[in-house]
Amino acid sequence: MSLIYRAIWQDQDMPDVCGLAADTFTRWVTRKWRSITVPDNGVVHGAGEQDGEQVELEVRTAIASDAGAGIPGVYRADLIETRDGAARWHTTLRSWEATEPGGSQSERWIWVDVEVVGDVDIARLASAAPRLVNDLLAAGEAAVVDGDVLMPVSTQITGFAAGELLAELISRPGRTLPVVVLNDNSPRSVQGGPTRSVLARRRRRRPPRHSGHRGRLHHRQRRCRRNHRRAR
């Protein structure tokens, strides 16, 4: 079995991180496979069809807690999809809240793994976060990795001050969160229309109307002038 995706983050502002994980996982599975019902705590089996291919489904969920050990809540959910071609996809969601011995503040964690086994060319898989991860980030309050904020969508950064903050984030020692920076060179203003400089370039590039007729007219005028001088 090959691990193809892993994401681990904290969400300290979410008071019930295990409840968030359970609700989001249930919605994600139900939207993906309407033929199966996610149990609150247990195992169910089912089947579905995707792109003309039969898929065997297995969903497992488990809830636990140990207040004496400083663990008020733990949640785990698994979706196993076995396809006709014998490829098996296994998505695991873990979530827990725990307090260190002698500590007063709980740590709230979410962990998602995606594994695959079988005839799958891993090199051809798209480099993208699973829908479940995006749903968890969107439903959360303040997802962070080592103090850096996670966001389910891209964020536009403009201005000198924002650029300095981005540079500090990228160059911060100990950073573990990958950062992808893209430069948007599209010739659009904030209002969505072309800028003045673009309009000016367009005006300069636009050829004058009836330029071909004017050129022939000037050519005839020069010929008439030369003939007139010869006649004189």
DSSP conformation letters of the chain: -EEEEEEEEEETT-TTHHHHHHHHHHHHHHHH-TT----SSEEEEEEEEETTEEEEEEEEEEEEEEGGGTEEEEEEEEEEEEETTS-EEEEEEEEEEEE-TT-SSEEEEEEEEEEEESS--GGGS-----HHHHHHHHHSS-EEETTEEP-SS-----SHHHHHHHHHHHH-TT--S---------S--TTSSPPHHHHHHHHHHSPPTTHHHHHHHHHHHHHHHHHHHHH-
164, part of any domain: no
What residues have CB less than 8 Å from 186, skipping those under 6 apart? none
35, part of any domain: yes
Mean pLDDT estimate for the chain: 80
Q: Other CB atoms closer than 10 Å to residue 9's CB: what's the count?
A: 22
99, part of any domain: yes
Indicate whether 77 pLDDT > 60: yes
Indicate whether 230 pLDDT > 90: no
State whether 120 and 30 are in the same domain: yes
pLDDT tens digits, 170-229: 898 888 888 888 887 766 534 333 333 333 333 334 444 444 444 444 444 444 455 545
CATH number of the domain where residue 8 is located:
3.30.530
Q: Are 187 and 195 in contact (CB under 8 A)?
A: yes
Please give the pLDDT value at position 108: 94
Structural domain containing residue 32 = 2-147
Alpha-carbon distance of 70 to 93, in angstroms, equals: 21
State whether 115 and 49 are in the same domain: yes
Structural domains of the chain, count:
2
Q: What are phi and psi of 102, to 5 degrees?
A: 85, -5
Instruction: Kindly report the pTM of this predicted structure.
Output: 0.72
